[in-house]
Structure 1
């Protein structure tokens, strides 16, 4: 149990007060909001087998409860009322007493909800945590909740620091065991077994391990591929406790001193990383951080002789999209994508990356900074790309980089008014 150290009933009370003040500007008298914890999802062909239940993050954030089919009700007239699920003897027999609930607050039985709603006759009810309510009002209520949840409170920050230390134990293990001859899968096992020994419940996403040319695959799942000498090994791996998590990437070198070619590529990404971290503070638009990362990587590729021509022309043509096609980062903390930015209904594309998070940074946002640069022959040699950028690329030089793969460096940055704090800085990275 973690609540004694990191969370309290008072913390939940504060969160509910925050939302009351927000929602009272939208809700009318005799209207109610229902926040659903969610339902178990059955595995295809699995008969009575379901996927591990994860409560909707909005419900969990407001209650710190993790049972399925529960509901939290709010109205201006009645305030907050919780409807809890009573665990049956059969569930206790198969699954135990669900002691993963952080705070056991008092609430009504879920079976009484129907009678409660029948007696109170709300003029309108909005459902959050369920896809069925697509009304504009529900969207506005959810957006207010998301904007509030994006700002991490002191308890969340302390907890995420703790999880970062757990992830660090896994990365330290990688450093101690990584050597040519082992497989990508063995490196994954070394990492994950170490974080589990140190208290992680699970991983927030499938651990990514890519060696050599596989390091250019953004979501490379570890395989039986043997790690060779003198190649990049990209590991994108986190740690998770009760859905709170960190999302970290480090790019290792498999043996000895990094070759000059590998070092050149790594240094470009490292420069983009440091400059983007320095930019990340309250009042800065996230798109500007991404645009800066794309410009730094474009300039680096030009200096290496992979690109040719005028820098400003290359930037205008957005040629970097061939080598760096993802955004510079995303919100993180409670789940690996945290709230996202669902109110951004028409995401714009900058340098080939469709930014789903395109907002002005505010104090206590927690966001990843993760620039990268990758050499993927299937993309670089497509007929369309070769025709579009034929005169901008030194194709003879480019082919020398096909086997090198890619580099990504990622940390979780807490935004402050006068700068930021790197919550995953405990995890060492190679510096040049």
Structure 2
């Protein structure tokens, strides 16, 4: 296993190896943002920047050069005793080269002057086009400045290129170090979900369950949630991105928890659904078992060489047939799938890439065709059913029921590995676990 510095250095070298000679890469860590007067949002470095540096301070720019050699420059905030007294310690220029294994450290105040020097005779400049509004003005100024040096035999960059396609394809395939981090993120997330199950009781509030879940993440060493936690009871579970988490949990409610911990920059992402009173109703058990069957069908097909959409299609077939069997949909299976009748109750995809971002980077299609799974990819599998009271043509026994089951899946050389093992998944397992929690209270 690589040490942290070696890991990020390896990522930089791998990126530069895929770029043409006379190229420069620009990556920003991002800036602190004001939440409201004199209060900042907690800062998290941009994922691309962290992937290439392991550094977490704001107001930094990484510059990678591929010329006769490969050189790493980092522009960062200088030491400032007064600011550090108020805002916290900074690494500083003096420590950056050794601490981060970079070749040269500059003050961020020298960015314009430094880039005029570093971009001399560079042909291609790469930066993220998803941040193009941030980069166009300074890059244009640097190019204009270099063009004015033409009589000195200095050339300016002639190509502006999108870094996303190159770097994000690299990030899609996880190394052994990344997989280790993701296993840890997944297992911290599992512990948080078990804590949520233990805390969810009729009469409790959703935010109280959230507090136990996220406190477990912190106790296990996670510095932050990977995304805003969803604790949705009863009819709230029919809202896919419900994050208010303010309602009182009622007897008979199902509780849907969609949450994940972050560990060393990598995200976990799990959804569990369980009865607050410890027992599924007959209708809830039928719908839950159907969603679980759909998830198992999708996971079972994940292996190298299988197209991404095959997993989705496997879940859709199971869900649609199950809805027919329960009388919620009427018609022939093939016709209902072709007409996408299931989308009334399952309106999202089967999952997404997972990594440093919970909805991680990487193309889902190549040349307009669904790409195939390959070893090192990590994907979530999360089928669901959402039947609200607004579905007035559906029998009321199914109303106000939202169910989603989600696990994190690593594609391996011979198949797949479920990273989020350790949670009860069947109706019987969940009821037994809830009973065990009750006995411990």
TM-score by length of 2: 0.82
1:94 aligns with 2:90: no
Contact 1:207 1:237 in 2 (8 A): yes
1:98 Cα deviation (Å)? 4.6
CA distance in 1, matches of 2:227, 2:398: 29
Give the drift of 1:104: 3.3
Name stretches of at least 5 consecutive residues in structure 2 with no aligned partner: 137-157, 429-441
* Cα distance between partner residues in 1 of 2:87 and 2:122: 39
Max Rg structure = 2
User: What is the alpha-carbon distance in structure 2 between the residues aligned to residue 345 and residue 54 of structure 1?
Assistant: 34
TM-score by length of 1: 0.83
3-state SS, counterpart of residue 399 of structure 2: helix
2:161 maps to what in 1?
A: 138
Q: Which runs of structure 2 are paired with 1:276-295 in the superposition (5 Å)?
A: 276-295=298-317
1:364 equivalent to 2:376? Answer: yes
2:74, 2:292 → 1: CA distance? 50
Deviations 1:144-203 (A, max 9, x none): 110111111111111222222222222222232322111111111111122212211111
2:53 matched to 1:53? no
- What SS is found at the alignment partner of 1:138? strand
Q: Which residue of structure 2 aligns with residue 392 of structure 1? A: none
Name the CA shift for 1:195/1:119 in 2 (closer, same or farther; >3 Å): closer
* SS class of match (2:347): coil
Is it true that 1:128 corresponds to 2:127 in the alignment?
yes
Task: Give the stretch that moved more between structures: 126-135 or 267-276.
Answer: 126-135
Question: How far 1:128 sits from its partner (Å)?
Answer: 2.1
Q: Could you tell me how far 1:290 is from its partner in structure 2? A: 1.3
Determine if contact 2:169/2:362 at 8 Å carries over to the other structure: no
* Equivalence map 1:23-422=2 (5 Å): 23=19, 27=20, 29-43=21-35, 46=37, 48-77=38-67, 78-85=69-76, 86-98=78-90, 103-106=99-102, 107-110=104-107, 111-120=109-118, 121-124=120-123, 126-129=125-128, 130-132=131-133, 138-139=161-162, 141-341=163-363, 359-378=371-390, 380=391, 395=393, 397-403=394-400, 405-422=401-418
Q: Please, which moves more after superposition, 414-423 or 236-245?
A: 236-245
Q: May I ask how many residue pairs the two structures share in their alignment?
A: 394
For residues 256 and 158 of structure 1, the distance between their equivalents in structure 2, rounded to whole angstroms, comes to: 34
Which residue pairs with 1:21 in the alignment? 17
| Separation (CA, whole Å) in 1 of partners of 2:25 and 2:245 | 46
Q: Distance in 2 between matches of 1:7 and 1:291?
A: 41
Return the offset for 1:80: 2.8
Within 1, Cα distance between the matches of 2:168 and 2:420?
Answer: 23
Report if the CA contact (8 A) 2:260-2:270 is conserved: yes
Alpha-carbon RMSD across the aligned residues, in angstroms, is: 2.7
**Conservation of the 8 A alpha-carbon contact between 2:258 and 2:269:** yes
Q: Alpha-carbon deviations, 1:103-158, whole Å to 9, x = none?
A: 5334321344444433352344525243235899522x321110111111111111
